[in-house]
Amino acid sequence: MIEIKVPVLPESISEATVVLWHKKAGDAVHLDEVIVEIETDKVVLEIPAEEPGVLTKIMVDEGETVTEQQLLGLMDDKAAETPSEPAVIDKTEEVTTEPVIKKINKPAITQTGNRAEERVPMSRLRKTIATKLHSATQNTAMLTTFNEIDMSAILEMRSNYKEVFEKKYGIKLGFMSFFVSAAVEALKKFPTVNAYLDGEDIVYHAYCDVSVAVSSDRGLVVPVLRDAHKMAMHDIEKTIVDFSSRAQSGDLALEEMSGGTFTISNGGVFGSLLSTPILNSPQSAILGMHKTQERAVVIDGDIVIRPMMYLALSYDHRIIDGKEAVQFLIAIKEALEDPARLLLKV
């Protein structure tokens, strides 16, 4: 008899939720085939078969809470004696994400006359997001300062070098590598923005681990660019593309989303023109990027059209003074409007 158990969870994770059984009792299971998915506060974990067999008993239903090493089900290893080809997926049995969600959350549908309502419990990830965001607004002295940048220089640089960049590194030159690099240089100049409060102490980091907000179908996740101050622009672009892909598939590891000293969030990809991002606790600051939009601006007394982007820096006023926050944002603005600063690190 083979036991199917919840895997060992990181120290910061105490429980998980059974999201979806890929097999039902009586189904044959092949080696490395996913049997069940569980969801923690941060990621969905797939539990594959370590041996072939037949699933004989499901002991925990979808939607139930489980803990580390809890028994989920049992398998009979007799299938190993009579190996067969993996089952062909019947397309008629495929289901969309929405029916799966409804099955997991067991929604309660009520109706008054011809007006229906549906009550669906939040997923574990959504609960965690809600708790963290509420905590950040209640337990910090959060303030947001704004500025705008002329994106002309970056757009011109991308246009001039995008083909040779992609040919050499195998990745497209996007905006995020510019913003991460500019933020890193600004964090070096203003280390308090890269610090956090721990009781009555201020903890300063001698490194820059930049969290990058990535949207997925399950919700917002924030994987971390470790040692971003050591990363070249092509490494930043490759890592972010990888994060985005694995966020959609639920393959990001828990350790990839823990830590981080500063966060960058790009609402511009969804069309946001301006916002006040909420802190990613316990971090003390977050940079919000927005949509690049052509606007009329005054340069040397002339009204001209320029591609402009609003930047927002939300910060914890308990640790970061207003002057410091404004200067930090100006440092990012100057680096992005004159990208040569990023190469010269001035």
* Residue 290 annotated in active site: no
Task: Give the pairing type, strands 285-289 and 262-266.
Answer: parallel
Domain assignment of residue 115, yes or no:
no
CA trace torsion 173, 178, 179, 182 (10° rounding)? 170
Token look-up 């052509």 returns: 294
The DSSP output letter for 6 is P
Residue range of the domain that includes 69: 2-110
Domain assignment of residue 118, yes or no:
no
Token pair in block for residue 49: 């078969």
* 137 shares a domain with 71: no
Q: What is the pLDDT of residue 104?
A: 45
Domain assignment of residue 84, yes or no:
yes
Q: What is the pLDDT of residue 40?
A: 80
- 89 φ, ψ (degrees, to nearest 5): -70, 130
Token look-up 């985005």 returns: 244
Domain assignment of residue 264, yes or no:
yes
Q: What is the mean pLDDT of the chain?
A: 87
| C-alpha–C-alpha distance, residues 171 and 242, integer Å | 11
* 131 shares a domain with 102: no
Domain assignment of residue 281, yes or no:
yes
* Residue 227 annotated in active site: no
Q: What is the pLDDT of residue 89?
A: 40
Token pair in block for residue 29: 């299971």
Please write the tens of the pLDDT for every residue from 286-337.
Answer: 999 999 999 999 999 999 999 999 999 999 999 999 999 999 999 999 999 9
Q: Is 201 helix (H, G, I), strand (E, B) or coil?
A: strand
Q: In a structure prediction context, what are the per-residue pLDDT tens digits for the chain, which is 346 residues long? A: 899 999 887 666 788 889 889 999 999 999 889 999 888 876 778 899 989 999 999 999 988 999 989 999 999 986 555 544 444 444 334 444 446 444 444 577 777 778 888 888 887 777 877 888 888 889 899 999 999 999 999 999 999 999 999 999 999 999 999 999 999 999 999 999 999 999 999 999 999 999 999 887 777 789 999 999 999 999 999 999 999 998 887 788 778 888 899 999 999 988 999 999 999 989 999 999 999 999 999 999 999 999 999 999 999 999 999 999 999 999 999 999 998 888 777 6
Cβ pair 53, 2 in contact under 8 A: yes
Cis peptide bond prior to 10, omega within 30° of 0: no
Q: What is the pLDDT of residue 11?
A: 65
Supply the CATH number for residue 169's domain: 3.30.559.10
Q: What is the pLDDT of residue 106?
A: 53
User: Using alpha carbons only, what angle is made at residue 328 by residues 325 and 333, rounded to the nearest 5 degrees?
Assistant: 125
Domain assignment of residue 119, yes or no:
no
| C-alpha–C-alpha distance, residues 174 and 191, integer Å | 26
Q: What is the pLDDT of residue 63?
A: 87
Amino acid in the structure at residue 70: Q
Cβ pair 150, 307 in contact under 8 A: yes
* 250 shares a domain with 130: yes
Where among 76, 110, 144 does a domain terminate? 110
Q: What is the pLDDT of residue 95?
A: 41
Q: Rounded to whole angstroms, what are the CA distances from 83 to 28, 74, 78?
A: 10, 19, 9
* 275 shares a domain with 129: yes
Where among 52, 82, 110 does a domain terminate? 110
Q: What is the pLDDT of residue 235?
A: 96
- Kindly report the number of other CB atoms within 10 A of residue 315's CB atom: 27
Supply the CATH number for residue 70's domain: 2.40.50.100
* 145 shares a domain with 101: no
Domain assignment of residue 312, yes or no:
yes
* 142 shares a domain with 101: no
Cβ pair 2, 75 in contact under 8 A: yes
Split into its structural domains, the chain has a count of 2
- Measure CA 56 to chain center: 37
* 25 shares a domain with 81: yes
* 98 shares a domain with 133: no
Where among 62, 82, 110 does a domain terminate? 110
Burial class (CB in 10 A: 0-12, 13-18, 19+), 59: middle
The DSSP output letter for 81 is G
Return the sign of the alpha-carbon dihedral for residues 130, 133, 134, 135. positive
Task: Give the pairing type, strands 71-76 and 53-58.
Answer: antiparallel
Q: Which of 22, 30, 205, 317 is catalytic?
A: 317
Spatial neighbors of 318 by CB under 8 A, at least 6 apart, are 140, 141, 197
Closest by Cα among 337, 299, 334, 306 to 154: 337
Domain assignment of residue 120, yes or no:
no
* 229 shares a domain with 149: yes
Q: Which of 61, 77, 217, 321 is catalytic?
A: 321
Cβ pair 309, 149 in contact under 8 A: yes
* 65 shares a domain with 38: yes
* 242 shares a domain with 95: no
Q: Which long-range contacts (CB under 8 A, 24 or more apart) does 225-230 make?
A: 225/180, 226/259, 228/180, 228/184, 229/184, 229/187, 229/188
* 151 shares a domain with 46: no
